[in-house]
Chains A and B, each alone.
Chain A
Amino acid sequence: MCLAIPVKIVEMRGKQDDFLNPPVAVVEAEGAQREIRLDIVDRWPSPGDYVIVHAGFAIRTLSPEEAEANIELMRQMAQGQRQGDD
């Protein structure tokens, strides 16, 4: 049930915290466009941002900086460069 791959937002529709007109983002995945609900996303995304989607709802907006920090830490640990890692 988990779709672990982040998808890119191409367009935003609706307003934040409006249950009568639920906010959605249009995402592109595998060549198809889908509407993704934003009711429970942690940070309000903008077009161009990537989100993690679960059961049709975005649950996390990713930032390029956080992604970079994550992989960098992993690379450092893999090489034993991180202080106190041995």
Chain B
Amino acid sequence: MIDERYSAPYKDKKLVQAIASRLNMFQERPMRFMEVCGTHTMSIFRHGIRSILPSNVELVSGPGCPVCVTSQADIDAMIGLAGQPGVIVATFGDLLRVPGTKGSLASAKARGARVEIVYSPADALKIACANPDHDVVFLGIGFETTVPAVAAALLEARSRSIRNFFVFSSHKTMPRALHALLADPELRIDGLLCPGHVSTIIGAKAYEPLAETKNVPCVIAGFEPADILQGIYMLAKQVYEGRHGVENCYSRAVTWHGNERAIKVMERAFEPCDAVWRGLGKIDSSGLAISPTLSMHDASKHFGMWSQTTVTPDPRGCLCGEVIKGKKRPPECPLFSRACTPTSPVGPCMVSSEGSCAAYFRYSTPCRQEIAEQQIP
């Protein structure tokens, strides 16, 4: 049952209009804000937020889609795991169709590999219990929102001695990547619309060093239309007033210190490591490796698979890397909606439901017309 108290008020048309009209007060200069989180990207499209923004406010998508930032080498390693005899790969559904250098998890499955889609790492653990003759590898992607859940599954596997459960960790942490991104002099960003549920875990305080050292306003927002507009309004107001601080307009879900219980669980199972991000390259201490105390469940050690460190070139012509950095909009990619569509994706940003290419394809008018034309014989 969904309580209207927590979502309906934030969809209220009058409230949305009132916030939008207040945003018009800040029209003196162009402003470019990055929505970091893939779920924000989707919500912005679904609710048509761009259409009610003043013309001086531009939104660009950031590196917050977990599938999209997973390096080509890690995708290849995951597909490689799926091909091994006696292995069941358990994965979130949106990794399935991401193209590797050769094939995808979906094509491996079609060739007979056991690839199971799970909704939770706890479900992967259940598969391990039900299949004691197989090694079950959970493909760990995602940020601080997902990592504590994977950590809990790892700790449970150890305490219950479920020896055939493994995690391939390609997990990443958000603040480090934002530091690296903002160090790029070519990227002009006037403010960050910070992710909602990553912040539920890490707390608003995590963005303080970013706001201070990079002089960039950081505002945490929820996912309903009023939430997002309020976030943009507060960013614009900071820019207008020449401030750069951390503000939280998602206080019902995010506190200053975050979810300390989840952070503790995460720290028991993982430790920071360097990681390669698609588009951003290698960023020091921005990944999470399985702690040595849980190495018996570490797929990269058990199967001798590398993770997080290798750089493999992205598919030819694919601009996912530039899209993730907010430097190019999806329609600027030569492959977009031609060689690369949701039914036959070239890059991960077109595969994941949180990817900005998929969002542009689904919601922007020219693409829709194109689909309509394709459907009429």
Interface residues of A (CB under 8 A from B): 1-2, 4-8, 19-20, 22, 28-30, 37, 39-42, 50, 52, 54-57, 59-60, 62, 64, 66-67, 69-71, 73-75, 77-80
Q: A2-B223, A56-B121, A74-B226 are in contact. Are A7 and B1 (CB under 8 A)?
A: yes
Q: Is the CB of A55 within 8 A of B146?
A: yes
Return chain A residues, CB-CB under 8 Å to B39.
1-2, 4
What residues on A are CB-neighbors of B249 within 8 Å?
70, 73-74
Q: Given A19-B159, A37-B120, A40-B262, A62–B18 Cβ distance below 8 Å? A: no
* Any A CB within 8 A of the CB of B256: no
Find out whether the CB atom of A67 lies under 8 angstroms from the CB atom of B5.
Answer: yes
Residues of A near B265 (CB, < 8 A) are: 39-40
B370 at the interface (CB under 8 A from A): no
Instruction: Tell which of B22, B37, B123 touches A78, judged by Cβ atoms closer than 8 Å.
Output: B22
| Residue tally, chain B, CB below 8 Å to A | 57
Given contacts A28-B1, A74-B226, contact A2 B196 (CB under 8 A): yes
B349-363 to A contact mask, C-beta < 8 Å, 1/0: 000001000000000
Secondary structure of the A contact surface, majority rule: mixed
B155 & A6 in contact (Cβ 8 Å cutoff): no
Determine whether the beta carbon of B15 is less than 8 Å from that of A6.
no
Task: Let me know if B285 is at the binding interface, CB within 8 A.
Answer: no
Of all chain A residues, which has the CB nearest B94? A1
C-beta contact mask, B83-96 vs A, less than 8 Å → 1, else 0?
Answer: 00000000010100
Q: Write out the residue numbers on chain A whose beta carbons fall within 8 Å of the beta carbon of B152.
A: 22, 37, 39-40, 57
The answer for the CA separation of A19 and B120 in the assembled complex, in Å, is 16
The residue on B at minimum CB distance from A35 is: B122
Q: Are A67's CB and B252's CB within 8 A? A: yes
Looking at the complex, which of B6-14, B100-108, B177-185, B328-336 is the stretch in contact with chain A?
Answer: B6-14
Can you offer 29 A-B residue contacts whose CB atoms are under 8 A?
A1-B38, A1-B145, A1-B146, A2-B37, A2-B354, A6-B6, A7-B1, A8-B3, A19-B156, A20-B159, A29-B1, A29-B2, A37-B149, A39-B156, A40-B149, A40-B151, A40-B261, A40-B262, A42-B255, A54-B197, A56-B121, A56-B123, A56-B149, A57-B152, A64-B5, A66-B252, A69-B252, A74-B19, A74-B249
